[in-house]
């Protein structure tokens, strides 16, 4: 998704002179062209994330539209107070980009993972969270974020190309229809869900992709869950205040109670061992195999 | 400003602290003269001032009141339920005067770096050559973010940024030299690439002259003025003591403080 992100920022940066791009010393082999295109508006703020966020708040206060970029845990956990006090409390249009959300940085270890970003950004006032699912989503998500006057957080990961006709970008979208169950997936884990569904007959699941918070659940999704009575939620973050909890609250308010409900999420480090992104997915049953097993359980 | 006007501001600060029973009186009296000189004489409309040591908000409110930016009636709501003037600067009100909700120490200098850089990037601002002033305490300079910001300001050559340090040598629970060492020393700020000015923090004439030097400096560096101040300045039993960071005034102490200000200032 990074290539699509850079392309989108380059396009916006040429159109909007108020766009400023700040990076926490990241971008080798990715931002070289952006540096040339933005000139003084490209700022390497060094390995000093808290300051970078304060600087971005100051720039936004003065009318600029800053984007701040770092590895997801450094763009989120390290700077949460700056985000709350300096950005959210004033509703400043600072756009935060975290690359490698969840276990995205794999073997780099737990310091480079972030499982809690969705959880706490969903508690901060007025910030909109974007978790694109497909690389095709990134351009539109970036465009929307830049246009919005509120703070925003963009969680980027790697997404493989799918040979799939995608519906237009939206915060909650149905990818395809099915009868046996409703499968709701946050962000790029949709690809693992798609791989898992290959083991089942066509139209096994009503498959939904969620890419934005605050979660706005369409009536059609409620109807889907009412109809199938079986719900599986999959997300690469903690189970607190993420997609699963938000959707459950929505169902409770709508007096919908699925007969079977399952939730796959990032449980941390169950074996206390480390490995690739794939390894951590497997450990947390978030890989195609784990999702397949859970689907089978729900269907029986 | 006449001596009587200055005394009036100090007296108003004492009234406010006594009536509200608010804390942080020592820190507020320590920087009251810096606030008076900066806001009443130095800061122009196009400049921006941020109180990074947000716990001195009462001092800021009193000075803004003396400049008729905050009414007497509003000032008297300080520290009460339903006020727009809490113990640390608010985020929803007085947006032209108080730009950010400070109080968590260490944020101000980064915010000012962003503002200073925005001023340099904006053509409309460049014509007026505006400055951004950031008032910090010496205890606040314990914060790592201050030094992240200092590196940034220096690397980006933000020569329109002026850090003001209220160096009273005392922080919340000890003397700065005993806690983490003197983070407001000239050598440290010089090492971080700032043009350093030092000044008495309670002598208005000297302070105005230093500001003049700062504004006319041709060095392409961010500036810092290290003000030598006295915590609890003007009140005999508060001066240079640690406990008056948090203590509140009894009626007897209040009367003594008022008398001290009348005689000593």
**pLDDT, average across residues B113-126:** 88
- Strands (DSSP E) found in chain B: 48-51, 132-137, 161-167, 170-171, 174-175, 195-200, 223-228
Whether residue A22 contacts residue A157, with contact meaning beta carbons closer than 8 Å, is answered with no
Q: Which CATH code of 3.40.50.970, 3.65.10.10, 3.40.1390.10, 3.30.420.40 fits the domain covering A2-156?
A: 3.40.50.970
Q: In B38-175, which ranges are continuous DSSP H helix?
A: 57-66, 72-75, 108-121, 123-128, 144-155
* pTM for the full predicted model: 0.95
Whether residue B111 contacts residue A66, with contact meaning beta carbons closer than 8 Å, is answered with no
Note the pLDDT of residue B91.
82
The alpha carbon of residue A44 is apart from the nearest alpha carbon of chain B, in Å, by 10
Whether residue A270 contacts residue A284, with contact meaning beta carbons closer than 8 Å, is answered with yes
Answer whether residue B128 shows pLDDT above 90: no
**pLDDT, average across residues A65-93:** 97
Contact A61 B145 (CB under 8 A): no
Contact A58 B151 (CB under 8 A): no
Rounded to whole angstroms, the Cα distance separating A178 from A24 reads 44
Residue A255, classified by CB atoms within 10 Å of its CB into exposed (0-12), middle (13-18) or buried (19+), is exposed
The alpha carbon of residue B61 is apart from the nearest alpha carbon of chain A, in Å, by 20
Residue B215, classified by CB atoms within 10 Å of its CB into exposed (0-12), middle (13-18) or buried (19+), is middle
- pLDDT tens digit sequence for A180-218: 999 999 999 999 999 999 999 999 999 999 999 999 999
**Which of A40, A46, A89 lies at the smallest CB-CB distance from B152?**
A46
Contact A40 B121 (CB under 8 A): yes
User: In chain B, which residue's Cα lies nearest the Cα of A94?
Assistant: B114
Q: Do domains A2-156 and A172-299 have the same CATH topology?
A: yes
CB pairs under 8 A between A and B: 97
Note the pLDDT of residue A297.
96
Note the pLDDT of residue B4.
86
Band (A163; pLDDT cuts 50, 70, 90): confident
Indicate the domain borders of chain A.
Answer: 2-156, 172-299
**pLDDT, average across residues B1-9:** 89
Q: Which residues of B touch A124 (CB under 8 A)?
A: none
Rounded to whole angstroms, the Cα distance separating A174 from A192 reads 16
Sketch out chain B's domains with CATH numbers: 3-264 (3.40.50.970)
**Which of B100, B116, B156 lies at the smallest CB-CB distance from A86?**
B100
Q: Which residues of A touch B91 (CB under 8 A)?
A: 85, 89-90
Note the pLDDT of residue B96.
87
**Which of A45, A46, A58 lies at the smallest CB-CB distance from B118?**
A58
Rounded to whole angstroms, the Cα distance separating A50 from B180 reads 21
Contact B117 A81 (CB under 8 A): no
**Which of B122, B149, B151 lies at the smallest CB-CB distance from A54?**
B149
Q: Which CATH code of 3.40.50.300, 3.40.50.2300, 3.40.50.1100, 3.40.50.920 fits the domain covering A172-299?
A: 3.40.50.920
- pLDDT tens digit sequence for A231-274: 999 999 999 999 999 999 999 999 999 999 999 999 999 999 99
Contact A62 B122 (CB under 8 A): yes
User: In chain A, which residue's Cα lies nearest the Cα of B145?
Assistant: A51
- For an interface test with A, the pick among B48, B110, B192 (most A C-beta atoms closer than 10 Å) comes out as B110
Q: Which residues of B touch A81 (CB under 8 A)?
A: 104, 107
Q: Which residues of B touch A57 (CB under 8 A)?
A: 100, 110-111, 114
Answer whether residue B125 shows pLDDT above 70: no
Q: Which residues of A touch B109 (CB under 8 A)?
A: 54
Contact B152 A40 (CB under 8 A): no
Whether residue A245 contacts residue A217, with contact meaning beta carbons closer than 8 Å, is answered with no
Q: Which residues of A touch B151 (CB under 8 A)?
A: 46, 48, 51
**pLDDT, average across residues B218-234:** 97
**Which of A52, A59, A85 lies at the smallest CB-CB distance from B118?**
A59
Q: Which residues of B touch A85 (CB under 8 A)?
A: 91, 100-101, 104, 107
């Amino acid at each position: 998704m990074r290539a699509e992100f850079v392309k989108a920022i380059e396009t916006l940066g040429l159109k909007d002179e108020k766009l400023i791009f700040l990076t926490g010393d990241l971008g080798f082999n990715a931002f070289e062209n952006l540096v040339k295109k933005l000139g003084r508006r490209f700022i390497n703020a060094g390995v000093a994330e808290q300051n970078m966020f304060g600087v971005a708040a100051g720039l936004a206060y003065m009318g600029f539209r800053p984007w701040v970029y770092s590895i997801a845990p450094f763009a989120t956990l390290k700077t949460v107070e700056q985000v709350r006090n300096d950005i959210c409390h004033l509703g400043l249009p600072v756009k935060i980009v975290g690359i490698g959300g969840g276990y995205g940085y794999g073997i780099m270890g737990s310091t480079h993972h972030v499982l809690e970003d969705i959880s706490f950004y969903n508690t901060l006032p007025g910030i909109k969270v974007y978790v694109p699912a497909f690389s095709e989503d990134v351009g539109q998500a970036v465009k929307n974020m830049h246009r919005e006057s509120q703070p925003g957080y963009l969680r980027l990961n790697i997404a493989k190309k799918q040979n799939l006709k995608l519906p237009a970008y939206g915060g909650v979208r149905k990818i395809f229809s099915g009868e046996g169950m409703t499968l709701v997936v946050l962000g790029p884990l949709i690809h693992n869900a798609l791989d898992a569904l290959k083991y089942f007959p066509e139209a096994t699941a009503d498959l939904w992709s969620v890419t934005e918070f605050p979660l706005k659940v369409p009536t059609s999704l409620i109807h889907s869950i009412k109809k199938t009575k079986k719900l599986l939620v999959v997300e690469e973050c903690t189970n607190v205040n993420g997609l699963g909890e938000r959707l459950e609250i929505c169902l409770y308010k709508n007096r919908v109670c699925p007969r079977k409900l399952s939730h796959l999420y990032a449980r941390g480090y169950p074996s206390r061992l480390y490995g690739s992104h794939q390894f951590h997915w497997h450990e947390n049953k978030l890989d195609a195999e784990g999702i397949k097993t859970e689907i089978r359980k729900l269907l029986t | 400003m006449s001596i009587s006007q200055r005394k009036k501001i100090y007296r108003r600060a004492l009234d406010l602290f006594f009536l509200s029973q608010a804390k942080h009186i020592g820190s507020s009296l320590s920087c009251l003269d810096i606030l008076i000189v900066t806001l009443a004489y130095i800061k122009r409309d196009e400049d921006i001032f941020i109180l990074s040591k947000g716990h001195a908000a009462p001092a800021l409110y009193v000075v803004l009141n003396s400049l008729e930016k905050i009414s007497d009636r509003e000032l008297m709501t300080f520290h009460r339920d339903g006020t727009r003037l809490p113990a640390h600067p608010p985020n929803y009100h007085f947006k032209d005067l108080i730009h950010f909700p400070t109080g968590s120490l260490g944020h101000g200098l980064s915010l000012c770096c962003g503002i200073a850089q925005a001023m340099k990037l904006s053509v409309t601002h460049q014509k007026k050559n505006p400055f951004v002033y950031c008032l910090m305490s010496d205890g606040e300079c314990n914060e790592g973010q201050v030094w992240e910001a200092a590196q940034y300001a220096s690397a980006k050559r933000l020569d329109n940024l002026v850090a003001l340090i209220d160096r009273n040598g005392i922080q919340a629970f000890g003397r700065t030299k005993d806690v983490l060492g003197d983070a407001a020393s000239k050598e440290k700020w010089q090492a971080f690439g700032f043009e350093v000015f030092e000044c008495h923090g309670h002598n208005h004439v000297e302070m105005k002259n230093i500001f003049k030097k700062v504004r006319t400096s041709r060095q392409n560096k961010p500036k810092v003025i290290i003000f030598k101040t006295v915590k609890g300045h003007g009140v005999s039993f508060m001066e240079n003591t640690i406990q008056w960071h948090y203590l509140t005034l009894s009626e007897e102490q209040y009367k003594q403080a008022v008398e001290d200000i009348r005689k000593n200032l």
